Structure 1
Amino acid sequence: MRSMLGSVLFDLDGTLLDTAPDMHAALVKLMAEHDRAPLPFERVRNHVSHGSQALVALGFPDAAPDFAEHLKKRYLEIYARDLCQATCLFPGLPDLLEACEDRGWALGVVTNKPGWLTDPLLDALGLHARMATVVSGDTLPQRKPAPEPMWLAARQTGLPPERHCYWGDAERDIAAGRAAGMSTLIAGWGYIDTDQTPEQWGADGRLEHPDAFWPWYANTPTPETGLAS
């Protein structure tokens, strides 16, 4: 039940943090190294949640598999060098995080981004110390959409899965949260391209701004009374 929530967990890219400017900048630099014209930001933004492999494929659609792997490694080198130049919390999230902390709720991140990028990024923004759990893409053998990273996050917060609400901007986020027994919300401000169909993901709701979380949370029957909390 939403009225029993005690934790909010976030996907990283496109949900908690607007990393697209820095990830786009890294792709532009990589393409320049190979004398390719840069792709506009608008073309790249909504592919960021699909990771470095998808971005390299966007910039180098004709690359053979071995060369694409080389490009991906180089892309990550460039990105790691300038990891947090323009990255920031999405608008509304600073207040949302503070409000959750005022309630005594646990905060956390579950992402497929590798830990060697996730941890320094959260540190640079002063967020790591505020998180009760940070589960990265290489923390476990399994990654989203598998539920195991979500269960680990729940264990680390000390709360059962049903007391968590997971926010994400990709189908795998919602699938992982649902499989783990958590409430799930789509971050409508995230990196959702026109080929995706979020209305079919089976989430418990969609937020167009973080402030919309509180009406969503309040408009729920309690287990005892059947009335809104």
Structure 2
Amino acid sequence: MSEPRPESALPVWHLYLLETAGGALYTGITTDVERRLTEHAAGRGAKALRGKGPLRLRHRESVGTQGEALRLEAEIKRLSATRKRAWLARRLALGDQGQQGQQGQQGASMHPLLVGIQLVAFDLDGTLIDSVPDLALAVDAALVELGLPAAGEARVRDWVGNGSLKLMERALRFAVDAGAGAGKSDPATGLLERAHCAFLAHYGRDPGAHTRLYPGARECLDALRSRGLTLALVTNKPHAFIAPLLEGLGIAEHFSLCLGGDSLPEKKPHPAPLRHLAVHFDVPPEACLMVGDSRHDIAAGKAAGFRTLAVPYGYNHGEPVRQTGPDDVVESLAELV
């Protein structure tokens, strides 16, 4: 007769609750929550969840044996939608106590898109920081220096996202047309070079005077770093301006590598900067996430084989970023953690 299996060797079962895109709560049990979440995200999980994404992990807790997990799951499934949400609210208010511990608490709020991710690449302007006030001041100062009308912050907000040269090309096209009262025209190359140099000089004097972090950005960076994820920055902004901005906002130490628009021969939406990150840190693209606010960020991420996450509050030239087809969209970066 074989000896009974030691109790300590029995697998620990976990209960988890997912919320669908439509707001419905799904309850499940498993011995490996991360593996199960990956299956759900890939459409290989429960049939009831297929086509209902994006899915968000709302709660998980260690239960014990399979029998105990089955009983708790059955109890929750018998609840109405309202009572199920009340149960979840009580669980969250208690801090998911019991056997869950600190690691479990972090996992309970972790976004499903982070499952299996080792490297997170962030865009800067429009994603982590609102830099338009300072950019607009430098753009207007450069235009006025050339005897052209200022553009104003509202217009500059729609021009940001493709690097400083493209920003000044758009500003010049507006200013030349406004000054001449004529139709569309492309600014001469010499004028663009002068305007770009003037912009760089004005912006470089104090690039972070009025720039601020978006709500939730610092909390997101802190939480991701505390979980041991590698964080990188990929922006089309000239590299020389990155360090002063990050240091002024107190987030420079969060990033293991920062790439500017002039760091490599190609910049976003080309995937080269993201592929460079994956090779540099020896992380497969499928274990990387690109977080940005524009179609260029999402296009670069997809082309590089990264997962993609978008925020809707940034600079996407007046177009809804959801239309670019990211894997998910969050209203605040705090939702990611």
* From 202, 209, 215, the counterpart of 2:332: 209
Q: Which moved more, 1:123-132 or 1:179-188?
A: 123-132
- 1:109 touches 1:135 (CA, 8 Å); kept in 2? yes
Q: Which moved more, 1:185-194 or 1:30-39?
A: 30-39
Partner of 1:106: 230
SS of 1:142 mapped into structure 2: coil
Q: Which moved more, 1:30-39 or 1:111-120?
A: 30-39
Partner of 2:123: 11
Q: Quote the Cα distance in structure 1 between the aligned partners of 2:260 and 2:168.
A: 21
Partner of 1:27: 139
Q: Quote the Cα distance in structure 2 between the aligned partners of 1:58 and 1:145.
A: 18
Q: Quote the Cα distance in structure 1 between the aligned partners of 2:316 and 2:272.
A: 24
Shift of 1:67: 0.7
Q: Which moved more, 1:162-171 or 1:49-58?
A: 49-58
Q: 1:136-151 maps to which residues of 2 (within 5 A)?
A: 136-151=260-275
Q: Quote the Cα distance in structure 1 between the aligned partners of 2:167 and 2:139.
A: 7
SS of 1:140 mapped into structure 2: coil
Q: Quote the Cα distance in structure 2 between the aligned partners of 1:191 and 1:51.
A: 12
- 2:131 touches 2:210 (CA, 8 Å); kept in 1? yes
Paired AA for residue 164 in structure 1: C
SS of 1:108 mapped into structure 2: strand
Between 1 and 2, higher relative CO (CA 8 Å, sep ≥ 6) is seen in 1
- Count residues in correspondence: 213
Is residue 70 of structure 1 aligned with residue 194 of structure 2? yes
Where does the alignment leave 5 or more consecutive residues of structure 1 unmatched? Answer: 215-229
- 1:132 touches 1:157 (CA, 8 Å); kept in 2? no
TM-score normalised by length of structure 2:
0.58
User: Over aligned residues, Cα RMSD in angstroms?
Assistant: 2.0
Partner of 2:303: 179
Q: Quote the Cα distance in structure 1 between the aligned partners of 2:213 and 2:281.
A: 22
Q: Quote the Cα distance in structure 2 between the aligned partners of 1:85 and 1:118.
A: 14
Q: 1:75-154 maps to which residues of 2 (within 5 A)?
A: 75-154=199-278
SS of 2:160 mapped into structure 1: helix
Shift of 1:100: 0.8
Moved runs in structure 1, 4+ residues, more than 4 A?
none
TM-score normalised by length of structure 1:
0.83
SS of 1:80 mapped into structure 2: helix
Query: Max radius of gyration: which structure?
Result: 2
- 1:110 touches 1:153 (CA, 8 Å); kept in 2? no
Q: Which moved more, 1:67-76 or 1:202-211?
A: 202-211
Q: Quote the Cα distance in structure 2 between the aligned partners of 1:142 and 1:37.
A: 32
Q: Quote the Cα distance in structure 2 between the aligned partners of 1:35 and 1:67.
A: 11
Shift of 1:55: 3.1
SS of 1:49 mapped into structure 2: coil
Label 1:89 to 1:72 Cα distance change in 2 as closer, same or farther (>3 A). Answer: same
Shift of 1:31: 2.6
Label 1:120 to 1:155 Cα distance change in 2 as closer, same or farther (>3 A). Answer: farther
Q: Quote the Cα distance in structure 2 between the aligned partners of 1:119 and 1:158.
A: 24
Shift of 1:37: 4.1
Partner of 1:226: none
